[in-house]
Amino acid sequence: MGVSKYMNKIFIALMSLMLLAGCQKYSNYDKGYEAAWEEENEPSLWASAEEKEGYEDGVDDSDMYDEGYYAGSNRKKPEHINDQFYMEGYNDGKKYR
C-alpha cells in the first residue's frame, strides 16, 4: 500500500508539471515576434521554427513601421497605405515631428 501512495504522488506531481508547462504566457511565435520588436538578438540555432518565424515576421512588421514613421516625420506622401504597421508608423511620425 505504501508504493501505491508514492506512485499517486508522483503521478499528481507529473500531471501538475505538464499543466504548468502548457500554460505559457506566450507562444513560441509570440516570443520571437516580440523579440524582433524589442530589437533583441535573432533566435538561436536551437530555437523552435515557430520562434524563428515569429522573429522574421516581427522584423518585417517593425521595419514597415519604421519606414512609415520616417515618411510621416519627413512630411512625405505615404507609399504603403494598405499596410497596417506602415500607416501606424506614418501617423505617429506625423504627430511627433
Amino acid identity of residue 66, one-letter, is D
Whole-angstrom distance, CA of residue 83 vs CA of residue 65: 9
Whole-angstrom distance, CA of residue 48 vs CA of residue 96: 38
Mean pLDDT, the chain, integer: 85
Tell me the whole-structure pTM to 2 decimals: 0.69
Candidates 45, 51, 43; CA nearest to 27 is 51
Per residue in 23-47, pLDDT (tens digit) is: 556 689 999 999 999 989 999 899 9
Selected residue with higher pLDDT from 84 and 25: 84
Give the mean pLDDT of 53-82.
95
pLDDT at 60: 96
| DSSP element (H, E) containing 38 | none
DSSP assigned state of 75 = T
